[in-house]
């Protein structure tokens, strides 16, 4: 063995992820990433191979983080009201908190077209499917329990929620403020409440 790393891999990855989130893939130059992470590009390359793999690692971290965040809302006892609370929670994040200003890393990436590789695009699609899976599992159970009307198409409802969110995230990014999507999401919440029996 020899000299150990002078940094924590996860901390560096999180900082890199924030940089990508804020500035996009092309917008995050190696210089930016060095400044954001506090380590030199050599260390970045030794640890993460190259810029694309660093980005993919950031995507994976973001995926896990979102998955965890949703899981804490959508346990097996969750109600339609918890879904509403989840939406309100996302939209009312502290506007000074950095992520609230940058939209959603995955949505941003979906529309970043210059050098988006097949794997990066695939990761965005997988992320989307993961989110949809959460909604479908919750809504499906609620429908079985009779809390949601039987004429509601669960697939359509799940796509509706994520579609609304992605629109809200786009607008949030443009205005660097999630609360501009409040009016939109008020109506989304009305619609969701209307699914109840």
The residue ranges that bind a second copy (CB under 8 A) are 22-24, 26-27, 103, 107-108, 110-114, 121, 124-125, 128, 153, 155-157, 159-160, 162-168, 170-171, 173-175, 181, 183-188, 191, 194
Is there binding between residue 155 and DNA (CB under 7 A)? Answer: no
Residue 115 CB, nearest distance to DNA (Å)?
A: 8
List, in order, residues 6 or more apart from 165 with CB less than 8 Å away: 87, 90, 104
Q: Binding partner of residue 5 among DNA, a second copy, none, CB under 5 to 8 Å per kind?
A: DNA
For a second copy, the closer CB: 134 or 173:
173
Partner whose footprint covers residue 45, from DNA, a second copy, none (CB < 5 to 8 Å by kind): DNA
Binder of residue 117, out of a second copy, DNA, none (CB less than 5 to 8 A by kind): none
**Nearer Cβ to a second copy, position 70 or 189?**
189
Residue 35 engages DNA in binding (rule: CB under 7 A): no
Closest to a second copy by CB, 9 or 149: 149
Which one of a second copy, DNA, none is in contact with 146 (Cβ closer than 5 to 8 A by kind)? none
Task: Select the span of 39-47, 73-81, 135-143, 154-162 touching DNA (CB under 7 A).
Answer: 39-47
Sequence-separated contacts (24+) of 104-109 with Cβ below 8 Å: 104/165, 104/166, 104/169, 104/173, 105/17, 105/20, 105/21, 105/58, 105/59, 105/62, 106/59, 106/62, 107/166, 107/169, 107/170, 107/173, 108/21, 108/24, 108/173, 109/24, 109/25, 109/59
Q: State yes or no: residue 46 binds DNA (CB under 7 A).
A: yes
Nearest of 152, 150, 155, 151 to residue 136 by alpha carbon: 155
- Contact positions with DNA (CB under 7 A) in 51-80: 51-52
Binding footprint of DNA on the chain (CB under 7 A): 1-7, 26, 28-31, 39-43, 45-46, 50-52
């Amino acid at each position: 063995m020899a000299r150990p790393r002078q940094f924590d891999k996860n901390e560096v990855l999180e900082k890199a992820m924030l940089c990508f989130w804020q500035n996009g893939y092309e917008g995050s130059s190696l210089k930016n990433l060095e400044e954001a992470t506090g380590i030199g590009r050599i260390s970045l390359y030794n640890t993460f191979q190259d810029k694309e793999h660093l980005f993919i690692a950031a995507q994976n971290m973001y995926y896990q983080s979102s998955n965890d965040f949703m899981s804490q809302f959508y346990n097996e006892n969750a109600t339609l009201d918890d879904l509403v609370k989840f939406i309100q929670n996302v939209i009312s994040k502290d506007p000074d908190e950095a992520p609230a200003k940058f939209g959603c890393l995955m949505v941003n990436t979906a529309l970043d077209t210059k050098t988006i590789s097949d794997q990066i695009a695939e990761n965005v699609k997988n992320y989307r499917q993961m989110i949809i899976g959460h909604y479908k599992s919750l809504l499906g159970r609620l429908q079985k329990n009779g809390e949601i009307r039987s004429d509601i198409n669960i697939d359509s409802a799940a796509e509706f929620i994520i579609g609304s969110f992605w629109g809200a995230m786009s607008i949030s990014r443009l205005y660097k403020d999630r609360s501009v999507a409040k009016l939109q999401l008020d109506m989304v919440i009305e619609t969701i409440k209307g699914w109840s029996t």
